[in-house]
Structure 1
Amino acid sequence: MKYARLPLQDSDTLDAVRAAYRVDEESQVIRLSQTLQWPSSTADAIRDRAGKLVTAVRAERRKGSGVDALMHEYQLSSEEGVVLMCLAEALLRVPDGATADRLIEDKLTAADWEGHLGHSESLFVNASTWGLVLSGRLLRQSLHDGHGKKVFRQWVQRCGEPVVRQAVRQAMRVMARHFVTGRSIEEALQRSQGRANRAYRYSFDMLGEAARTQSDSERYFDAYVHAINAVGRQSGDMGPLDAPGISVKLSALYPRFEMSQADRALPALTRKMVSLARLACHYDIGLTIDAEEADRLELTMAVFDELLRQPQLAQWQGLGLAVQAYQKRAYDLLDWIASQARQNQRSVMIRLVKGAYWDTEIKRAQEDGLDDYPVFTRKQNTDISYLACAQKLFSYQDCIYPQFATHNAYTVAAILELADPQQAFEFQRLHGMGEPLYDQLVTNNPELNCRVYAPVGSHEDLLPYLVRRLLENGANTSFVNRIMDDQAPLESLTAHPQEQLKTLAQIPHPRIPLPADLYPDRRNSRGMDLSDVRALSALDEQWQVLSGPSIPPVTDASIESALEGAFHYTEQWRLTDVNFRAGCLEALADLLEERMPHLIALCCQEGRKSIPDGVAEVREAVDFCRYYAAQARQLFDPQALPGPTGESNQWRLRGRGVFVCISPWNFPLAIFLGQISAALVAGNTVIAKPAEQTPAIAWMATQLMYQAGIPEQALYLLAGDAGTGARLVKDSRVAGVAFTGSELTARRINQALASREAAIATLIAETGGLNAMLVDSSALLEQVVVDVLRSGFQSAGQRCSALRILLVQEDVAPALIELLRGAMDELIIGDPADLATDVGPVIDENALASLYEHIDYLEGNARLLKCCELSDSLSDTLYFAPRLYEISRIEQLSREVFGPIVHLLRFRASDLDRVIDQINATGYGLTFGIHSRISSRAQTIASRINAGNVYVNRNMIGAVVGVQPFGGSGLSGTGPKAGGPLYLTRFTNEQSISIDTTAAGGNASLFALSDDH
């Protein structure tokens, strides 16, 4: 395999950072707590100071504004808080009035806004509520007069420029102004000089999320250059401590800021950051690298380390880095920073923050089946980490200037007590948040320095940032929320977090299980963190490209032997205790995890899968084994049924007999084992016929099944051609067939089974689909782009669930097309065994020929919007460049095309229902994607679309066993869904047993009844 090696010099401090990535939470919290053993006098002083701060803030809360008051009124535990967040995130970017009206209608009817009017002491909150009350009142009146939403829509149309839309938009803009310092750096600088802001320093963040294209990154870079020039010209000779600074997101400067792309991302990022740093050095102002997701930390460290080594920046003291205390690595990261700063004789600024991506980090770790979380699961644990890091920062005063970003009064009080009077440091707060706390601090302590982290940009750019801040500070556990709540006891806000921990049964949060314990009935499959250099090194060491095993050729004799052997063993295997059968699957799951590196290598070598796809393939196979084992233990336990007295009735499931399992090449391990494990655990014997392209994977999986305890008489592998499958399904001894593949082959199997002079057989078929994703104008286009690339081009589009038709509302189609074209330029097409590869080759010459045949058709019937470039070395191989075409009618596609081609079709907002009808008319029904912020619309579409799997505001691939059971209907399959609660039952017959218990002389149980009750 191939992966990028980061240019970080090995050291004890770097090793410590890496070791703490996903360290056990309890041990890390205990370790950090031991550094906070303060004298009782210090602890008392902190508590008293914190109490005074909280009391003063509550007394002055009428002067508060921004999220402090807003989140007190609209807590995210309330329906109104969630609605407000959704409106703020989506409304201002919706370009067309019709969709904006549907969004407002969707959100406002479910909330009680009038209950909030005049309730808050904040003028800001009441001003925002006014627009919501007006809109909701008008809408509810329309909904209650008997005609429902139709009347509201007619009223909106009569208004011309709808009053409701304008009122709510204005409420959102009022909100936005409290979070964004200015729409331009010039406006932000002017606002920062206002009378109320003069007591603060500023660090300006040119607001924007991650770049998706090179043009995005260049635009962000130019914005940073412009901002540095503007700030620098105004700052004079103030120096980086007193002058305003600039904060930079590395993800805004390169569209693929991720570990897999380190070889090309780091040079580009370093070049841009050196340029920005030199400019900031020229003006002698601060430039801070913001912290982002945990999997980007080492990349950030590599860029920061390179900046420390630049001789042109040797005398500049304005380089900064944000460190997230919610990461378990934060404490050790500070040691590495100090070590590198001293080694390069530099002094740096460190902004210590709590962290802004907590929910994302938790979800990612659970989805990826990682050993532990990179972040703490309790707020108290993060608070302990923050205090330990703050204390450590004070010990590095020779090389670090600490900047404490916090809205927590106890944390502020602790820092003030721990700081040496001679030590230089500053506090930081977010613009629009924490104002009551810091206003009193800077007023009563003129020598105290506080810097405002100030977003700059348009209100539309604000939205993703705003939502993240709302989530952080609106949570019930947030200090910003609780400090404004008189119902929150003062003692709970002024207690050392260690004291709070003593009241808990366990240090990690009990409702956030480790990823392995995510499911109540089975262990989650273990994943592999491909952002962890230690995991990559271990995978590389165990990577083994295997020579092809000696697989016996399939002959008429071997087919007959398998049929006869499987048929004669059916009764013995059916009578084998279900716990033994389930135990074999669980043992197989463990073996698969043990052999994961070898299986990934084989998937890359034979199945032409990328490394991430190989990891997912093994994990899905493991999940199938454990899920079906748990299901079997539950389903195959005989159940007593009700009936008259004197009678015993039982119901149970039994295996059908011999199952032929025919699996595809695109999931040569997961589907191969998914079919077989279900059939076996249900009490059937199995003849497995894998795809001709991937026999080695099937052979290895079969050997592991035997090793796990599956008898060889219960499982036969016939790695033959299509003729082998045809011969098997015609045999009268076959009780059922599980098939995944093309619609045409499924039809042939169905006809073959029906033509036999034998018992009616079961067919479980999963085929493909003309899978569509619908994007309306309320969708976040940056998110859509990511999901389209994954759904349409990952695995070279060779998934039955892959995106084929992209339905885009015409109002946003030009913008989305521009983003997609730029994002497609960033796709890496190449060797699947290279971690950087996004798109590998197609499976064989036949697949390639079929794709080019389709291209020939599209050339005369569609418009090419984008074709990725293939390097010269790949042009004569099995590689096929991903393409985006625009079509004019859904009817132009009559069959599934299995490869990386996405067909875009524009639609008018008024034609939404007609588009759904047209998709249903194709006859396919596998997957469907919806990107919309209008919840009622998404629910309506999901109820109307004939698709087995519907995905809302996410990608359409990678269904998880037991979480998103997978399968379709119509031309897309028979059902039941693989990895779902009904799948095993399709492999079984039912049997009921009724016994007359009075036959032995009477109804003893009835006679034995007492008269006590």
Structure 2
Amino acid sequence: MCLAEGLLRIPDDETADRLIADKIASGNWSAHAGASHSTWVNASTWGLMLTGKLIEPPKLAREETTSWVQGLSRRISAPVLRSAFRQAMRIIGGEFVVGRTIQEALDRSAKTSELSLCSFDMLGEGARTWADAERYRKSYEQALDAIGSQRKGTPIDERSNLSVKLSALEPKYDLMHEGLVMQRLAPIVGDLARRAARFDVGFTIDAEEADRLDLSLNVFEALARDKQTQSWQGLGIVIQAYGKRAPYVIEWVAALARETGRRICVRLVKGAYWDAEIKRAQERGLSSFPVFTRKVSTDISYLANTERLFKHRDVIYPMFATHNAHTIAAVLELRPPGAKFEFQRLHGMGALLHAEAQRQIDGFPRVRAYAPVGQHEELLSYLVRRLLENGANSSFVNRFMNESVPVDTVVEDPIAALQAADSMTNPHIPLPNNLYGASRENSSGVDWGNPQQLAEQIASLQKSGELPHAAPSTLVGKIESTPHEVRNPANLSELVGYVSAASKEDIALAFDKAGQARKAWDDAGATHRAACLVGAADKLRAHRAELVRLLVKEAGKTLPDAIAEVREAEDFCRYYAAQAREHFAEPTVLPGPTGEDNKLSLRGRGVFACISPWNFPLAIFLGQVTAALVAGNSVVAKPAESTPLVAALAVRLLHEAGVPRDVLHFVPAAGKMFGEVALKHPALGGVCFTGSTSTAQFINRALAARDGAIVPLIAETGGINAMIVDSSALLEQVADDVLTSAFTSAGQRCSALRLLFVQDDVADRLIELIAGGMNELHIGDPSLPSTDVGPVINQSAASKLEDYSKKVTQKGVKMLKQCDLNQVRTEGSYFAPRMLELNNARELTSEEFGPILHVVRFKRENLQSDVLAAIREAGYGLTLGVHTRIESVWQEIVAEAAVGNIYINRNMIGAVVGVQPFGGEGLSGTGPKAGGPHYLFRFATERTLTVNTVATGGNARLLSLGS
């Protein structure tokens, strides 16, 4: 039954949608049942009748509500608006939340006929900390005790029950941490299930996002195999019909039920995270979506899976959650004689529809309300989700309440709607691969919720055979210098490869050869050069396993970081190729007087020296190199001294893709030696550098002192990057984004969060959340999928960070939190992430390149003087984060901030090529932005060609125009 065996591999769009298409064509919705198309005609008739009976009351309610709101707005004044909105939220909360406590909810359900049968849900988002998880566990225990004390002896299907969200009980609830989850979470959920069994109360595992499906089913399987609860009939699970794997999950659940000899309850829902699933798949560059892209496809999938549930009614008790009249009617048409099942609805929605159905239809099954329980401060995210779901144009509730939509449209047959569509998939939602249209292909990613793909990534880290050896390209075939060992920063005993350093003579020879080869490369044209970059992108994809292994072993990258870096490198190749085809392939014709042709062309400048850092040894290295190459320059590339192996492989792939060897040279060398030769060489046409501000300033001075042509410096440097959080921010999201921004890649990103400004009203709570999240960070060998934070690049970097931390704490800076390194099992260059509190932002005067977060409290009235002024005075301008739910606040900050990349209500790292062009200003770089539409121009020189076309004796073009 293990899902890792591949039972639930996501079908691609063609397979999943073709399944629906074939069913439409045949008029038979199941290989095992004979429901004909007349079933759907009947369903539409039933739905039309139900909706027609209900259309008037909602109209009246809407008109009365509108009138009341308009009257209220005229009567109240500004000073009481806040109080009025608070009261409005309480009223809305009462409509969607049954009670603030489980006892209050039970008391209300006892007095309200439409709430007499509930599935209670303890409100709250997924746990961020273990304290959160413990709080949710206790709330579930209390809920089971309270529900179990009511209506004892009543059959289990006629009693209220409990729905449980697994991510609320485990802060690390994802497949990457499967071992921890099964060790830590499975016993907790098992204890809750046994508690429910003792009370004979239903216990349903709620649905999560698609990439948590396999993990959820692994936990559910453990519950189903528990011998202590085998006779209990209350174990249940939620299946989302918008998911393409839904039918396979149903078959899996049925097989599990038969194997374990128990009945399993299945709540079939349309799905709760559709928009997030679409975005996540596009961001990750997956092969397809895990969900259908058309609403009608989901509706049809729901009906097809309804048949499947009825087929297994001997071991499955179906629970159909819907507010759609057509769906209700279709379920009634599909039910086999004597089948036992129930309908479910969300509290605050669908009551009129189900009540009318119960009134009209004899023997209508029981209706259970999914009833949220919790304090109103926990309501917001839940309420927003409900309003978005039902405010969408495609929503039944929205169309039902819309006077302009005819009733027969509200209960439209989804089969007919899909048959009438131009395509099975939604043409307005591009597949992840086609996200950027015809100009370029999106890079290919990994589905971290897919057991097969995760296993493949882990396996790719194992390599046997000869260790790689990076050497200067001028020494091909004759290694003269003594090689140096390259060791794994996570495990210093592991030898990763060797590098032979270039001498001054090697560097000079590389520039000589590159200078000689440059013109032919420039003359080859942008179309040819772009084709070489696309070929390199294809090779990066083909060699991803080898590249990932080097990024993990040589640079200490975690698996997700390594995959993201390969993707970014691929994106650079494809994006710059597209930009070159657009702007460099043909001259631009300029307007002018008749009898004259004027054209502007872009050509390479000469030989570019590309100097890249160790923190992105593949993406930044290739970003620099490919930009310079495609603009028509030749390149001498110097990788970081700590990470030459992955850079050497990248150069090899570029050569294999068609870039001539003399056009691109690889010279691993010490930075000082490289600078002494490169910055004085006469062939030098420009420098592209990413690294420290001090080194960029040194290069700038050296270039200014050169004789001859003035060459450009394209520099991206560091920053004391800040995030500003006001009291309106959603603190759980802030904590997530702070942890991601400050500690991903062990804080070794130039974009990483260094300085957190938090409004004092919410500072204590946010610090508590961040500290709790830091407790859950797993520090160790990045080759393990469960590792969140790997080593810093070397022992020297770790020592510098330790020295800094000791120095500032000795001066009185408060240590708010320091992670524990006892969990680390290998000898490497590890540094424990930590959070410090400063009295004043001006105490931080330099960028500390590692996982150190500095916190500063501020008062709202001092946003300008204490926060924005401090950011300006520091002189850096790379990244800035803002968390606020007040638009005018972030607009005020943006207007004042001289920062290259500003992120509102999200994390501050992971800029995507062509989407978030990256680069700073001030002390943070020269611009233009890497991965942006203006970047290539800085690598080029412009030439204008003017031809006097009348020099031969007349203006033929003008004379031929006629009268």
The one-letter amino acid of 2:509's match is: S
1:658 to 604, 607, 616: 607
The corresponding residue for 1:158 is none
Residues 25 and 507, structure 1, Cα contact 8 Å, conserved in 2: no
Q: What is the CA–CA distance in structure 1 between the aligned matches of 2:544 and 2:74, rounded to whole Å? A: 57
> C-alpha displacement at 1:700, in angstroms?
0.4
The corresponding residue for 1:58 is 55
1:695 to 644, 653, 667: 644
Q: How does 1:133-152 map to 2 (within 5 A)?
A: 138=77
Q: What is the CA–CA distance in structure 2 between the aligned matches of 1:320 and 1:924, rounded to whole Å? A: 55
The corresponding residue for 2:478 is none
Residues 128 and 175, structure 1, Cα contact 8 Å, conserved in 2: no
Q: Secondary structure at the match of 2:8?
A: helix
The corresponding residue for 2:625 is 676
Q: How does 1:516-665 map to 2 (within 5 A)?
A: 516-520=433-437, 521-545=439-463, 547-552=467-472, 553-636=501-584, 637-665=586-614
The one-letter amino acid of 2:953's match is: G
The corresponding residue for 1:44 is 41
Q: Secondary structure at the match of 2:63?
A: coil
The corresponding residue for 1:976 is 928
2:21 to 30, 33, 36: 30
1:951 to 893, 903, 917: 903
Q: Answer yes or no: is 1:884 the counterpart of 2:835.
A: yes
Residues 932 and 938, structure 1, Cα contact 8 Å, conserved in 2: yes
Residues 662 and 725, structure 1, Cα contact 8 Å, conserved in 2: no
Q: Answer yes or no: is 1:388 the counterpart of 2:385.
A: no
2:872 to 914, 920, 942: 920
Q: What is the CA–CA distance in structure 2 between the aligned matches of 1:399 and 1:410, rounded to whole Å? A: 27
Q: Secondary structure at the match of 1:297?
A: helix
Q: How does 1:725-764 map to 2 (within 5 A)?
A: 725-726=674-675, 727-764=677-714
Q: Deviations over 1:854-905 (max 9, x none)?
A: 1022212410000000017569631000000000111111110000000000
Q: What is the CA–CA distance in structure 2 between the aligned matches of 1:814 and 1:32, rounded to whole Å? A: 57
Q: What is the CA–CA distance in structure 1 between the aligned matches of 2:711 and 2:425, rounded to whole Å? A: 51
The corresponding residue for 1:281 is 197
The corresponding residue for 2:339 is 423
Q: How does 1:61-80 map to 2 (within 5 A)?
A: 61=58
Residues 172 and 776, structure 2, Cα contact 8 Å, conserved in 1: yes
The one-letter amino acid of 1:696's match is: L
Residues 134 and 164, structure 1, Cα contact 8 Å, conserved in 2: no
Residues 262 and 315, structure 2, Cα contact 8 Å, conserved in 1: yes
> C-alpha displacement at 1:126, in angstroms?
5.4
1:870 to 805, 816, 821: 821
> C-alpha displacement at 1:23, in angstroms?
6.8
Identify the range of structure 1 (187-196 vs 759-768) with the bigger mean alpha-carbon deviation: 187-196
Aligned residues: 921
Q: How does 1:339-378 map to 2 (within 5 A)?
A: 339-378=255-294
Q: Per the alignment, do residues 796 and 940 of structure 1 end up closer, same or farther by CA in structure 2, a change over 3 Å counting?
A: same
Q: Secondary structure at the match of 2:872?
A: helix
The corresponding residue for 2:381 is 464
> C-alpha displacement at 1:259, in angstroms?
0.8
Q: How does 1:128-207 map to 2 (within 5 A)?
A: 138=77, 162-197=79-114, 200-207=116-123
Q: Secondary structure at the match of 2:317?
A: strand
Q: Secondary structure at the match of 1:653?
A: strand
Q: Per the alignment, do residues 801 and 134 of structure 1 end up closer, same or farther by CA in structure 2, a change over 3 Å counting?
A: farther
Q: What is the CA–CA distance in structure 2 between the aligned matches of 1:671 and 1:876, rounded to whole Å? A: 28
Q: Per the alignment, do residues 121 and 218 of structure 1 end up closer, same or farther by CA in structure 2, a change over 3 Å counting?
A: same
The one-letter amino acid of 2:956's match is: A
Residues 585 and 708, structure 1, Cα contact 8 Å, conserved in 2: yes
RMSD (Å), alpha carbons = 1.7
Residues 356 and 469, structure 1, Cα contact 8 Å, conserved in 2: no
Identify the range of structure 1 (885-894 vs 41-50) with the bigger mean alpha-carbon deviation: 41-50
Residues 21 and 329, structure 1, Cα contact 8 Å, conserved in 2: no
Q: Answer yes or no: is 1:9 the counterpart of 2:2.
A: yes
Residues 612 and 691, structure 2, Cα contact 8 Å, conserved in 1: yes
Residues 678 and 984, structure 1, Cα contact 8 Å, conserved in 2: yes
Q: What is the CA–CA distance in structure 1 between the aligned matches of 2:852 and 2:621, rounded to whole Å? A: 26
Q: Secondary structure at the match of 1:858?
A: helix
Unaligned runs of 5+ in 2: 473-500
* TM-score normalised by structure 2 residue count: 0.93
Residues 132 and 171, structure 1, Cα contact 8 Å, conserved in 2: no
The one-letter amino acid of 2:47's match is: A
Q: What is the CA–CA distance in structure 1 between the aligned matches of 2:588 and 2:391, rounded to whole Å? A: 48
Q: Deviations over 1:941-977 (max 9, x none)?
A: 1121111000000000000000000000111000000
The one-letter amino acid of 1:56's match is: K
Q: What is the CA–CA distance in structure 2 between the aligned matches of 1:752 and 1:395, rounded to whole Å? A: 78
Q: Secondary structure at the match of 1:591?
A: helix
Residues 779 and 823, structure 2, Cα contact 8 Å, conserved in 1: no
Q: What is the CA–CA distance in structure 2 between the aligned matches of 1:254 and 1:454, rounded to whole Å? A: 22
Residues 737 and 763, structure 1, Cα contact 8 Å, conserved in 2: yes
Residues 128 and 174, structure 1, Cα contact 8 Å, conserved in 2: no
> C-alpha displacement at 1:562, in angstroms?
0.6
Identity %: 48
Q: What is the CA–CA distance in structure 2 between the aligned matches of 1:131 and 1:959, rounded to whole Å? A: 46
Q: Per the alignment, do residues 130 and 394 of structure 1 end up closer, same or farther by CA in structure 2, a change over 3 Å counting?
A: farther
Q: What is the CA–CA distance in structure 1 between the aligned matches of 2:13 and 2:40, rounded to whole Å? A: 30
Residues 309 and 316, structure 2, Cα contact 8 Å, conserved in 1: yes
The corresponding residue for 2:423 is 506
> C-alpha displacement at 1:407, in angstroms?
0.6
1:901 to 852, 870, 876: 852
Q: What is the CA–CA distance in structure 1 between the aligned matches of 2:296 and 2:288, rounded to whole Å? A: 18
Residues 230 and 262, structure 2, Cα contact 8 Å, conserved in 1: yes
Q: What is the CA–CA distance in structure 2 between the aligned matches of 1:1007 and 1:659, rounded to whole Å? A: 48
> C-alpha displacement at 1:195, in angstroms?
4.1
Q: What is the CA–CA distance in structure 2 between the aligned matches of 1:474 and 1:133, rounded to whole Å? A: 26
The corresponding residue for 1:221 is 137
Q: Deviations over 1:898-941 (max 9, x none)?
A: 00000000000111111111111100000000000111211221
Q: Secondary structure at the match of 2:817?
A: strand
Q: Per the alignment, do residues 811 and 21 of structure 1 end up closer, same or farther by CA in structure 2, a change over 3 Å counting?
A: farther
Residues 278 and 313, structure 1, Cα contact 8 Å, conserved in 2: yes
Q: Secondary structure at the match of 2:132?
A: helix
The corresponding residue for 2:491 is none
The one-letter amino acid of 1:528's match is: V
* TM-score normalised by structure 1 residue count: 0.89
> C-alpha displacement at 1:40, in angstroms?
4.7
The one-letter amino acid of 1:59's match is: E
Q: Deviations over 1:9-48 (max 9, x none)?
A: 369xx64422538774422433564652733543332221
Q: Per the alignment, do residues 240 and 47 of structure 1 end up closer, same or farther by CA in structure 2, a change over 3 Å counting?
A: same
Q: What is the CA–CA distance in structure 2 between the aligned matches of 1:464 and 1:854, rounded to whole Å? A: 40
Q: What is the CA–CA distance in structure 2 between the aligned matches of 1:249 and 1:10, rounded to whole Å? A: 20
The corresponding residue for 1:858 is 808
Q: Per the alignment, do residues 631 and 474 of structure 1 end up closer, same or farther by CA in structure 2, a change over 3 Å counting?
A: same
Q: What is the CA–CA distance in structure 2 between the aligned matches of 1:946 and 1:512, rounded to whole Å? A: 35
Q: How does 1:257-272 map to 2 (within 5 A)?
A: 257-272=173-188
> C-alpha displacement at 1:129, in angstroms?
6.1
Residues 10 and 290, structure 2, Cα contact 8 Å, conserved in 1: no
The corresponding residue for 2:320 is 404
Q: Answer yes or no: is 1:777 the counterpart of 2:727.
A: yes
1:441 to 357, 371, 386: 357
Q: Deviations over 1:392-412 (max 9, x none)?
A: 111111100000000110000
